[in-house]
Amino acid sequence: MSNTQKSTSDVQPCPNCETELPVPKSTRSFICRECDAIIKVIATDDGAVLKVVGKSVEEDPTYQSYEAQVAELVAELDDLHKRYVVEMAKKPGPSAFRIGLLGLVAFIAGALTTIWSLSIGGVIGGLGLLVAVAAFVLHGTRMAAFQSRAGEMSKAIERIGHERDVIQRKAALLKVTI
């Protein structure tokens, strides 16, 4: 019986920095301690081949800065989304519009009443027209203000989301740049 044990690791140079690395036979990938390269172990008939597939950037100050910026933007987006939901709940209801419709009905009734009495029909029609115009103007003003606020918030959410995406792409590029 032989006392010779099979080696559980092989020593190969890092494909990025040439540092001798112990490569365990059961490993599929690991990080070089010298250059932070992420190395993939590819099994071949002749043994294992090492290939650089990225780099570890967890300790990189630039990467950490990007991650901090992304965290701030995500918090700002969460706050904006909450405010947006509250703002959407404030959408003006149809009450002013309905009052305007009621004013139009009064105007038509006043016009029909002029057949019997010009003065009574004129008063009813005039008041109906006044109520209709005032209610429709009020409704339109409220809706325009609401849409303006909602539009501004939507643009801010879109701008911040785009900024977050750009920074996340920069951080991801750091991982694959050697």
Indicate whether 26 and 81 sit together in one domain. no
Q: Tell me, what's the pLDDT at 9?
A: 66
104-160 pLDDT, tens digit each:
999 999 999 999 999 999 999 999 999 999 999 999 999 999 999 999 999 999 999
Distance of CA 8 to the CA centre of its chain: 47
Whole-number mean pLDDT of the chain? 87
Indicate whether 44 and 113 sit together in one domain. no
Indicate whether 68 and 24 sit together in one domain. no
Q: Tell me, what's the pLDDT at 162?
A: 96
* Residue 36 domain-assigned (yes or no): yes
Residue 1 has pLDDT above 50, yes or no: no
pTM for the whole structure: 0.59
Indicate whether 77 and 137 sit together in one domain. yes
* Residue 4 domain-assigned (yes or no): no
* Residue 2 domain-assigned (yes or no): no
Indicate whether 70 and 153 sit together in one domain. yes
* Residue 165 domain-assigned (yes or no): yes
